[in-house]
Amino acid sequence: MSFEEKEPIIEKYATLSIPGKDPIKLPILKGTMGPECIDIRELGKQGYFTYDPGFTSTASTTSRLTFIDGKKGVLLYRGYPIDQLATKTDYLQVCYLLLKGELPNKEQFADFTFKVKHHTLVHNQMESLFQAFRRDSHPMAVLCGVAGALSAFYHETLDIYDPAHRENTAIRLIAKMPTLAAMSYKYSIGHPFIYPRNDLSYVANFLHMMFATPCEEYKVNPVIERALDRIFILHADHEQNASTSSVRLAGSTGANPYACIAAGIASLWGPAHGGANEACLRMLQEIGSLDKIPQYIARAKDKNDPFRLFGFGHRVYKTFDPRALVMRETCHEVLNELHITDNPALQVATELERIALSDSYFIERNLYPNVDFYSGIILNAIGIPTSMFTVIFALARTIGWISHWIEMQGSANLRLGRPRQIYMGKEVRNVKPIYRR
Ligand code: ACO
């Protein structure tokens, strides 16, 4: 297995003409796949910045983890298509793949699974930390706090320049996030925390910690276990999205990795990003019946109304989100297994999808259902409360965040992330004191 960093190839140059200046030659960088990229580093030296709000045209880094072709609807983790990973592997194998670059063989997988399973407990003092939160706190607020607080617990393995310490941090995070996520749920409903069980699979253990009580075991349904495992796989990584970029930006300062993950969790929470699954289910429930759909479609199209159809559109995918296709199939499997035939949210979702895919407003803007369109319906059917949807996304995405953090820390090109701005404020002026000092 090789983790050597490869530099992009330079085959040609772009020339930038700025009036009154000599032409500036800018290398055009070519990665393994994907669009070519103009290297603008020279511009800063010449006194120019580039302006790209929302970073729609900016590559912030090179990466070997994930590839997306938004026009073709392709998503690859380390070169493997997402649908193959979702149907032929499980989440822990995908964690290994993202972290180490290759799928594990049987021995490697047994060793990795053992390590993860033996880090699932959190420090007992964490329980006191939970007690400090209001019971009605949103579980994402709690998760932000407790994940960041992990940085206060593992001083002995926090040398970010030591690859063994970095890997140890990754194992801890993969292992402890389900425990913390389930604790945030149990706390919100006033139930005692349920300790992890290392005889169960990663996903079955999470379901156990969520739904078992000291009075009753939770019997894990294999169809539900598999569905949740797929949700975890599909959410594991997604290139330089907002939350991953938050982790990288925080990580570029040399900050503690657990604190960097907390930055990712905070960024994921917003409804334009990971919070969309929660917002989408609430929207489907609010629409409630097929006859109300046209009024919501009209609102989504109205420029004067901030309402958007949650679960539609994506910054990168301009066709079907490949994760949504897998998710749609899994959604039907779960509803069949649970004999849910008259789920109003699913009926509304199916009709919304049909209308949006044939409506010129959505077609012209390439607005297709994204991964969050179906995940909420599945999680709801499993019995997971809406406020926990983004927590589950965060749990699954932790492997992506920490893999990016590790990739970044090991990179020869690591530099402090520090964007610039176009200043539009007041010109320099003098203070007029309101009293004498
Ligand atoms: N409903 C209605 N109109 C929409 C929607 C939507 N969901 N999404 C985009 N549009 C419209 C915009 O109004 C805009 O129209 P205009 O060109 O007439 O002004 C056009 O489509 C382009 O939209 P942008 O906001 O410029 O696209 P951007 O790439 O910045 O936004 C985003 C992507 C934020 C995901 C957006 O589509 C959205 O808000 N979707 C709903 C929230 C959602 O589902 N987010 C989850 C994304 S997946 C994830 O993070 C896991």
pTM for the model: 0.91
- Calculate mean pLDDT across residues 49-69: 96
- Calculate mean pLDDT across residues 367-383: 89
Task: Tell me, rounded to whole angstroms, the distance of Cα 294 from its chain centroid.
Answer: 31
Instruction: DSSP letter for 239, please.
Output: S
List, for residues 286-327, the tens digit of each pLDDT value.
999 999 999 999 999 999 999 999 889 988 898 888 999 899
Residue 159 alpha carbon to ligand 1 centre in Å: 40
Task: Tell me, rounded to whole angstroms, the distance of Cα 409 from its chain centroid.
Answer: 19
Task: Tell me, rounded to whole angstroms, the distance of Cα 351 from its chain centroid.
Answer: 27
Cα dihedral 205→211→214→219 (10° resolution): -70
Mean pLDDT for the chain? 93
What is the residue type of 228?
Answer: L
What pLDDT is recorded for position 90?
A: 97
Instruction: Band the pLDDT of 4: cuts 50, 70, 90.
Output: low
What pLDDT is recorded for position 2?
A: 41
- Residue 119: CB atoms within 10 A of its CB come to 17
Instruction: Band the pLDDT of 156: cuts 50, 70, 90.
Output: confident
Q: Does domain 9-75 have CATH number 2.20.28.60?
A: yes
pLDDT at 437 over 80: no
- Calculate mean pLDDT across residues 420-424: 95
- CA–CA dist 58, 239 (Å, integer): 13
Q: What angle do CA 54, 12, 39 make, to 5 degrees?
A: 30
Between 376 and 103, the more confident residue is 103
What is the residue type of 176?
Answer: K
Q: Could you say which of 138, 238, 372, 404 is catalytic?
A: 372
Pocket test for ligand 1, best of 308, 327, 372, 393 (most atoms within 8 A of CB): 308
Q: What angle do CA 96, 99, 101 make, to 5 degrees?
A: 85
Q: Could you say which of 208, 235, 314, 404 is catalytic?
A: 314
Cβ–Cβ under 8 Å, residues 325 and 234: no
Instruction: Band the pLDDT of 377: cuts 50, 70, 90.
Output: confident
Q: What angle do CA 53, 320, 368 make, to 5 degrees?
A: 65
Q: Would you give the end-to-end CA distance of the chain in angstroms?
A: 68
pLDDT at 374 over 90: no
Using CB distances shorter than 6 Å, the residues near ligand 1 are 272-274, 276, 300, 308-315, 365, 367, 370-372
pLDDT at 357 over 90: no
Q: Residue 290, CB half-sphere, CA atoms under 13 Å: how many?
A: 9
Closest atom, ligand 1, to C-alpha of 273:
50
What pLDDT is recorded for position 228?
A: 96
What pLDDT is recorded for position 210?
A: 97
Which residues, other chains included, contact 240 with Cβ-Cβ below 8 Å and sequence gap of 6+?
Answer: 59, 60, 61, 63, 248
Closest atom, ligand 1, to C-alpha of 235:
51
Residue 238: active-site member: no
**Fold assignment, 88-417:** Citrate Synthase; domain 1 (1.10.580)
- Residue 420: CB atoms within 10 A of its CB come to 9
Residue 164 alpha carbon to ligand 1 centre in Å: 41
- CA–CA dist 290, 350 (Å, integer): 10
pLDDT at 22 over 60: yes
Cβ–Cβ under 8 Å, residues 275 and 269: yes
Lowest mean pLDDT among 20-34, 88-102, 327-341: 327-341
What pLDDT is recorded for position 271?
A: 87
List, for residues 89-146, the tens digit of each pLDDT value.
999 999 999 999 999 999 999 999 999 999 999 999 999 999 999 999 999 999 999 9
What pLDDT is recorded for position 379?
A: 93
- CA–CA dist 352, 349 (Å, integer): 5
Residue 314: active-site member: yes
Closest atom, ligand 1, to C-alpha of 238:
51
Q: Whose CA is nearest to atom 41 of ligand 1?
A: 310
Lowest mean pLDDT among 45-49, 209-213, 249-253, 394-398: 45-49
Q: Whose CA is nearest to atom 21 of ligand 1?
A: 365
pLDDT at 275 over 90: no
The domain limits of the chain are 9-75, 88-417
Q: Write phi, then psi, for 7 (nearest 5 degrees).
A: -90, 145
Which residues, other chains included, contact 141 with Cβ-Cβ below 8 Å and sequence gap of 6+?
Answer: 133
pLDDT at 50 over 50: yes
Instruction: Band the pLDDT of 1: cuts 50, 70, 90.
Output: very low
- Calculate mean pLDDT across residues 265-275: 91
Cross-strand partners of 34: none
